[in-house]
Amino acid sequence: MSDLAERYGAPSRARRPLVVGAVAVVGLVALAWLVWVVLVQSRPQVSSQLVGFTVRGQHATRASFTVVRRDESVRASCLLRAFASDHAVVGELTVPVAGRTGGTQSQLTRTVRTEREATTVDLVGCTAPGQSAPR
């Protein structure tokens, strides 16, 4: 070992505390980010789920979906899209979910007008003020 120290020089005594300090700072930042994700992002203002849909002919399809808001006063907006057999979007409807009394969960049914027959309906999701990503 002494041959190596003579040839290359001894490691700096100040290096080890710097490395430990840098690792500790990175660890604290990662922990703070994890806490933020768990507390803020895991509980959105509004979330939604498609219950089902029925095709009502060439130019309409009816979709049922559930909207869950964190608070009754949250005003949300939900986007439904109808697709044809060739995967083209043939209809779209934005459904406002106003702040209502009577609970945080709502079961909604809406008709999406289509330019031709739809084969499926997708609930893209719902957004609310302060929540730009649909859920």
Segment holding 31, helix H or strand E: helix 15-36
What pLDDT is attached to residue 122? Answer: 95
Give the residue carrying structure tokens 């049914």: 109
For residue 102, give every residue at least 6 positions away whose Cβ sits within 8 Å of its Cβ, in sequence order, or none: 72
Residue count of the chain, please give it.
135
What pLDDT is attached to residue 38? Answer: 84
Q: CA dihedral in degrees (4, 5, 7, 13; nearest 10)?
A: 130
CB count within 10 Å of CB 39 equals 9
Q: Which CATH number fits domain 46-127: 3.40.1000, 1.10.3470, 2.40.10, 2.60.40?
A: 2.60.40
The residues spanned by each domain of the chain are: 2-41, 46-127
Which residues of the chain fall below pLDDT 50?
A: none
